[in-house]
Every structure is written in C-alpha cells, then in structure tokens.
Structure 1
C-alpha cells in the first residue's frame, strides 16, 4: 500500500543559526603603528636646539640652560665677550684676548704723543681643528671710545707667521694707541679675513 507523498511546503526548512563575523585584524595593526609614531615624535619634541658660542654651530640640548656665551651670541646675532674669555670657531680656531694693560715703551723716542697712551693685549690662538692653521691669518681691529685705535708696530709683536698643527697654540702681544680718557675698548677678531663670524671682546679701559 502506497502513501501519497506530502508536499515539501508542509515541512518548512529550519533556519540556520547566524555565523559569527570574523574581525579584521588590520585596523589594530595600523592603530598600533600610528601610536608608536606618535610616541616617537613626542619624545623627539622634547629636544631643543640652541646656538653654541664655542663652536659657532647649533648643539642639541635636552632641557639644559644656555651658557652665558650662547645668550650673548643670541643678542642681535653678534657674539660679544669680555676680555679673558675664549671663543672657538667652527674650524677649530680657539682665540683668547687677555685683559688690557698699560704699555710704556722703554725708548723715550717711542713714547705716545700728547693726549694718547698705549694699551697692550695678549692674543692666544689654539688650533682645536683637524687641519693645520697659520696664525698669521688672524684678523684684529681695535676701537676705543668709538674711535679707531691704530696698532703700534714699533711695540709688541706683529702677527706671527706660525703654522699650528692640530693641538698647537701660540701667543703674541698687540699694542694699540688710544686716548687718555677711560672708555670702552673693543677688539674684533676673525680667524681669517673671510670668516663669516666676527667676535667682539670689550671692556672699560
């Protein structure tokens, strides 16, 4: 005995449970990379750059105070120092101008003219660079009370024709004719006539 077949509609198909969606991993990877870049940039942002008077170049410093020389260099872009201080150029030429002293020639015929006097300064040059340096390349000028001070070539030393190897140094004396009245004495220094940076040593004398 055969039974009639029931239509398929009488037995509805059971719904399948929803499959969980797979989470994509790439947003987490990108987010982690962005976070690393941000932390690295924030760490580098704590460093500041300040000019270095001794080198004439910029040096990195992390929260350190500027040296007096660096602050003086920032004033109008001009480096002004007191007598007795030292400045080092980017080429390694380190030059010191001593405190001025009164100079009286022993020869009575070489005395300063009336209303004038002589001042002597010792200039020390040290070669801190990697190449040889001839001290004769140094250029000096002098002013006193705003007036040009002429060098007395009959006293002191002329610019020494001395070749300084790395680590070498030499000292010579320059004598200038200035007025009798006390005032500001200023000596400008360049390691060579074509140097981009000029340093000014000054003080009352």
Structure 2
C-alpha cells in the first residue's frame, strides 16, 4: 500500500516542531597577538635605546615592534583584531626605539672617535716630548763632552766652582837619580792649577793626571830626587789655590803631542781632557 504524496513544499515527515533552530554561526577569535607583541617589543626597544651604550641591543626589538605594529593595525582595520590602540602604540614605540638606536650609534661612534683622537694626541705628544727630551739630553751631553775637551792653557770649571787649568807642557830635565825615564826618551813637565771658587772644600783623592803620548799610549810617570814635583792631594778650601807639578817620560817618536786627563776624584768628577803640542 503506497502513501499519498505530501502537498508541494511540505516535508514528507511532517512539519518541523516549534522552537527548533539550526546551529549558531561560529565566532572568529580576534588576532590580538601581534598588537601585544608590538607593544612589548616597542617598550623594550625604547628602554634599551635610552641606555645609550646598549643601542646595539635596541634596534632589533624596535624593528620587530614596528613591523608587528603595522600588521596589527592592518588586522584591526579588517576587523580581525580588537587592540588597534595597542598596535598603534607599539608601532610608535618601535619607531622611537629605532631613532634611539640610530642616535645611540652615532653618539657612541662620535665619542669613541673623540676618545681615540685624544689618546692618539696624548701618545703623539708624549712621543714628541720624549724625543725633545732625548734630543735635549743628547745636546747637553754633547755640549758637556765638548766643554771637557780643552787645549792647554784653558780652564775647566766644575759645577761646584772648582776650576782646573793645565798649562802647556814644558821640557823637563831630570837629575841623575830618576825612575820611569828610559834613555833616549823626552821628559816633559805638566803643571795643574786648581782654584776653588765654590762654597765648599774639595777633596783631592786622585791628584795624578793620566798622560798619553802622540800614539795614544800611556806615558810613564817620571820620579827623581830634585823635589820639583808636587802631587795635588788633601782638601782645597773655598777661595784657595793649589798647584800640582808632574813629570812624564815620552818615547822620542811620540813626544810631539800629548793628552792630559785629570779629575780630583774619579768616583765623583768627570775627567777633563787637555790636548796639544809639546814645546
């Protein structure tokens, strides 16, 4: 037995019960994550940027905040996000953080350059000063050395006021009883005059001159019994004068010129040197 067909437009199962509706439309979750990230990264970028020497750490969060802020604003305009203000704030903070990063970089580079220039200038100044000092010392040493090299008859003055003069050597005739004089040699007398123009006494500890012949060999000190020789020794008081007389034996082939070195005390004074021909 077949059932009659339902009228047109009606369900074969009969009318739908009253109060029954289909499932509600599903709500889309707002995409607020980028706006939040932009705000957090923007704050981090600004904080790091304010610490000038951390600028190299601030540019990345600031740049990300700028990017996330732009995307978050786009989502808000499309209705996909509800935190437009947060995204905008993150974008602004990201831009500020980038400016701070750039400014910090420029500031740091400028300061490092200034410090480097200052250090370089100090080093160059120190080197120039050291060179000038070394040059001055060398000049002073050369001048002092030149001042200590004299001709016979000239006077050398020490810093304490002691003046030493070596007269031009004179021929010397030893008596019959003589030591240090070989037959055929030429004997010469060296006279050393000391004047104390200082304020303190001077102690002569090494009052013997060192004499070299024309060949540079040490001349032999001549000693005889004539009593004409006198060694500078003892103390020379301020304002006083003393004379030392010495005789030396020179080989005939090197007796035309001699060099005399003298110092009151080799441990305390530099030697002064006199050179010149022998009469």
TM-score, normalised to structure 2's length?
Answer: 0.43
Determine which structure has greater relative contact order: mean sequence separation of CA pairs < 8 Å that are 6+ residues apart, divided by chain length.
Answer: 1
Question: Which of the residues 90, 93, 108 maps onto 2:176?
Answer: 108
Preserved CA contact (<8 Å) 1:125 1:135: no
Contact 1:139–1:192 (8 Å) recurs in 2: no
Q: Which residue number in structure 1 is paired with residue 223 of structure 2? A: 153
**Residue 238 of structure 2 is aligned to residue 166 of structure 1:** yes
Superposition pairs for residues 117-128 of structure 1, below 5 Å? 117-128=186-197
- Structure with larger Rg: 2
Instruction: Determine helix, strand or coil for the equivalent of 2:262.
Output: strand
Partner of 1:31: none
1:45-60 aligned within 5 A: none
Name the residue aligned to 1:65. Answer: none
Tell me the C-alpha RMSD between the 2 structures: 2.7
Kindly state the Cα deviation for residue 176 of structure 1 after the two structures are TM-superposed. 0.6
SS in 1 for 2:191: strand
TM (norm. structure 1) is 0.57
For the Cα contact (< 8 Å) 1:122–1:171, is it kept in 2?
A: yes
Query: What SS is found at the alignment partner of 2:199?
Result: coil
Matches within 5 A, 1:28-67: none
Aligned ranges 1:5-16 → 2 under 5 Å: none
**1:92 Cα deviation (Å)?**
1.8
More helix by share: 2
Gaps in structure 2 of 5+ consecutive residues: 1-135
Q: Is the 8 A contact 2:219 2:250 kept in 1?
A: yes
Unaligned segments of structure 1, at least 5 residues: 1-50, 52-57, 59-69
1:194 to 247, 267, 278: 267
The alignment of Structure 1 onto Structure 2 pairs a total of residues equal to 135
- The answer to whether the aligner puts 1:87 opposite 2:156 as a matched pair is yes
